[in-house]
Amino acid sequence: MFLEYHVIGELMINRIIKFLYQGYEKILFQEVSKGPLPAHIAIIMDGNRRFASKIGKNSYFGHSKGARVTENLIRWSWEIGIKQLTIYAFSAQNFKRSPKEINDIFDLMSRKFDRMSEDEEIHENRVKVKIIGDKNRIPPFLQRSIDRLETNTHNYDQFNLNIAIAYGGRQDIVQATQEIATKIKNKDLSVDQVTEMTISEHLYPADDAAVPNVDLIIRTGGDERISNFLPWQTNGNECAAYFCAPYWPEFKKIDFLRSIRVYQARKIEVRKNNALRTAQLLASIGNKRSFNAKSNQTDLSISDCHKNY
C-alpha cells in the first residue's frame, strides 16, 4: 500500500512540474516574442558524449539524442521568427577522435540529411541548407547526401540553415586570404578593392552568399568559449553570448528562449550606453560653448576698459 501511494505521489508531482514548466514556457515565449529578435543565431552543440556517459550509454546514443534536439531547435527558430541559424556539427578538431566515433557521426549525419532532403517541413518552410567547412575532408558517402540536400533546397529563401562540418574558424580565414591573394596575383582583383566584405565573401561557403554577422551565440555544456567557431562573424559584430550548463541533449525550449532574452537585454544595454554617450557628448559641447561665450564676454570687458582709459 505504501509503495502504491509513493508511486502515485511521484506521478502527481511530475504532472505538476510538467504543468508549471509548460506555463512558464508559454509566458516566456510571449515575452520574448514582443522584443527584438536576433537575425542570426549560432550554436555550439556541446556535451553529447558527456550526456551519454552520465547515463551509462555509449557516445552514439548521445549524438543521436543530440540530433533530435537539433531538429527541435530548427522548429523553435521557425516558430519565433529567426531567419538564420548556424550549427557547429563537427569541428576540424573532432577528427582527433576515434575512427569508429567519426564514422558513426558521419553515418548519422548522412541519414539525417537524406531525410531532410525529402522532409515536408523543410520544403514547406523553404529552408535553404548550406554546409560550411572543408568539404575535401568529408567522406564521399556523406558528400553525396550533402550535395543532394543542398541541391534540393538551393532556391529557398525563407530560412537559412548553415551546418558547420570539418570547420575551423582560423582555417576558414586562411583559405579566404589565400584565395584573395591568388586573385590579386592573377590580376583578377586589386589590393585597393579588398574590403571587409571581400573577406566575408571568400569565407565558407565559397560558392554562395556570405554567412552574415552573428547576433547571438549559444554554447551548451558549461564551457564559456566559442572554440574557433565563426570568429570573423562573431567578434566583429560583438554579438551577445549565452553559455548554459545543460548538455546539448538536455537543451530545452526554455533554454533557447532564455538565450534570446539575454540578447534582448544586451540590446537594451547597448541603447542605454549609446544614449548616455550622446548625452555626455552634448553636455561636453554645451559646456565648451558656454566657456567660449564667457571668454568672449571677458575679452569685450577688457576691451571696454581700455577704451574708457
Q: What is the pLDDT of residues 171-206, one digit of tens each?
A: 999 999 999 999 999 999 999 999 999 999 999 987
Work out the number of other CB atoms within 10 angstroms of the CB of residue 176.
Answer: 20
pLDDT the model gives residue 33: 94
Contacts of 163 (CB under 8 A, 6+ apart): 86, 87, 89, 129, 130, 131, 132
Contacts of 201 (CB under 8 A, 6+ apart): 210
Q: Is 218 helix (H, G, I), strand (E, B) or coil?
A: strand
Residue 309 has pLDDT above 60, yes or no: no
Q: Which of the residue ranges 79-93, 193-207, 211-225 would you say has the lowest mean pLDDT?
A: 193-207
Question: Could you say which of 14, 46, 237, 287 is catalytic?
Answer: 46
The CATH number assigned to the domain holding 46 equals 3.40.1180.10
Instruction: State yes or no: 271 annotated in a binding site.
Output: no
pLDDT tens per residue, range 18-28: 777 788 899 99
Residue 89: give the domain boundaries. Answer: 39-281
pLDDT the model gives residue 226: 92
73 part of a folded domain: yes
Instruction: State yes or no: 95 annotated in a binding site.
Output: yes
The neighbouring-strand residues paired with 242 are 218
44 part of a folded domain: yes
Determine contact, residues 172/203, Cβ cutoff 8 Å.
Answer: yes
Between CA 123 and CA 154 the distance in angstroms is: 11
Residue 111 has pLDDT above 70, yes or no: yes
10 part of a folded domain: no
Banded pLDDT at 274 (limits 50, 70, 90): confident
Helices 2-33, 253-308: crossing angle, 10 deg rounding: 40
Q: Residues 162-171: what's their mean pLDDT?
A: 97
Between CA 159 and CA 83 the distance in angstroms is: 5
Between CA 61 and CA 14 the distance in angstroms is: 25
Active site (annotated) includes residue 46: yes
Instruction: State yes or no: 226 annotated in a binding site.
Output: yes
Number of folded domains in the chain?
A: 1
18 part of a folded domain: no
Determine contact, residues 43/259, Cβ cutoff 8 Å.
Answer: no
Most confident of 111-115, 197-201, 267-271: 111-115
Q: Residues 130-136: what's their mean pLDDT?
A: 96
Q: Residues 77-92: what's their mean pLDDT?
A: 97
Between CA 115 and CA 26 the distance in angstroms is: 30
Q: Which of 131, 53, 30 is nearest to 88 (CA)?
A: 131
Question: Could you say which of 14, 58, 72, 94 is catalytic?
Answer: 94
Instruction: State yes or no: 134 annotated in a binding site.
Output: no
219 part of a folded domain: yes
1 part of a folded domain: no
Active site (annotated) includes residue 125: no
79 part of a folded domain: yes
241 part of a folded domain: yes
Residue 7 has pLDDT above 80, yes or no: no
pLDDT tens per residue, range 173-182: 999 999 999 9
Q: Which of 253, 154, 248, 254 is nearest to 208 (CA)?
A: 154
Instruction: State yes or no: 308 annotated in a binding site.
Output: no
Helices 2-33, 59-80: crossing angle, 10 deg rounding: 40
Between CA 6 and CA 20 the distance in angstroms is: 21
Q: Is 124 helix (H, G, I), strand (E, B) or coil?
A: helix
- Phi/psi class of residue 195: alpha, beta or left (left: φ > 0; alpha: ψ in -120 to 50)? beta
Instruction: State yes or no: 63 annotated in a binding site.
Output: yes
Nearest 5°: phi and psi at 243?
-110, 130
- Cell reading at 26: 508559454
Residue 300 has pLDDT above 70, yes or no: no
